[in-house]
Structure 1
Amino acid sequence: MKQTERRGYPYPECDPPVQKDASDAIQIKQLADAINTDVQTLRNQISDEMAYPDCAKIFANGIVTTESDFNVVYTGFSWNNRAGLWDPARGGFTIQRSGWYLVMGYVFAASTLNLHLRSRLTLNGAPRGNWQGYSRNTTGITNQAQQLFYSLHLDQGDFLTNQIRHAAPGTSITFGSRLELVRILAG
């Protein structure tokens, strides 16, 4: 049987020569089955990519340290819709499927010191992107926060977390962080 050019659907021939061992009913069924399979595949892709993209949000609370430059190890998650995306053993994200991701988050510190709080991503243990920030304290407010936003291509198996940097080394400060991502485009 001939096939459609773009989707490869088999279709019965209207003009001879017609295969002698194939009935028209079988050819019509093969066409219907091919269309059904293709439509189901498209439906699954739409559901997977648009309705339920890979996404997760992780958190770390009560990080007490005197270091002024350190990697965040995430200890919990708020949501995680792709098995293995949040990697509790490593304390960050392990990418399950390659694609373009939107990564968002924030870090915060309980301090009235002028911390100049900053954050940036680390990808596979190496710094990725620029330091986001500076935050600055406001009189009477003990919590300082700094946001981060990135869109980047990540490959399957990549490990992602972030670093915190501040301007008060040697001072014991309590930090927290949130990091979330959503896959916005497959590939």
Structure 2
Amino acid sequence: MGKVMAGMTMSLDGFINDRNGSARKLSPDFEELLEAPSFKEMTKNTGAVIMGRGVYEMADPFLWANDDYEFQVPIFVLTHTPPEKYPKGNDKLSFTFVTNGVESAISQAKKAAGDKIVQVIGGASTIQQCLNSGLCDELQIDIMPVLLGNGLSLFQNIDTDKLKLERTNLEETTPIRTSIIFRVTKTSPGE
């Protein structure tokens, strides 16, 4: 089976949204990012996506969940309560709402992805759960050269005693975005 890779964009001072909950300042290069060779390669190698309910609802899913969405794969939404209505999807993109935890979401996504990557695209709580469960193989952090001063930190609820990160790649993805990929491993006792 393929690996589980979590990814998030953050400000230079470590926040994934501002004090009002907006991530708008972190994506001024979104159109450029979609055209970046590394992003296209990543979407091509992705076999399933996991996202939290907040990311699913960040924009109207009936507008973005169409043939133009970059991830044309099964999408697993981690939630406490599935929505009554959701987009139908197409022959590639489908939705499964997982209510019994991150381990179940990862297991289902890995089966759907086969040998391809399971991409965890957020939000913060979903990525934190993946990291804390020990089920995340790689972490990609995209750094934007902005300072938010306050907001939500991706790493605030991470059990840092159990994780070890090893940088495996560093890339200028767009003229203003730097991507860092880390291998995620569990630490041994005494490390």
Identify the TM-score tier after normalising by the shorter chain: under 0.3
Point out the structure with the larger helix share: 2
Q: What is the TM-score when the length of structure 1 is the normalising length?
A: 0.27
Q: What is the TM-score when the length of structure 2 is the normalising length?
A: 0.26
Larger RCO of the pair (alpha carbons < 8 Å, separation 6+): 2
Highest CA radius of gyration, 1 or 2?
1
Point out the structure with the larger strand share: 1
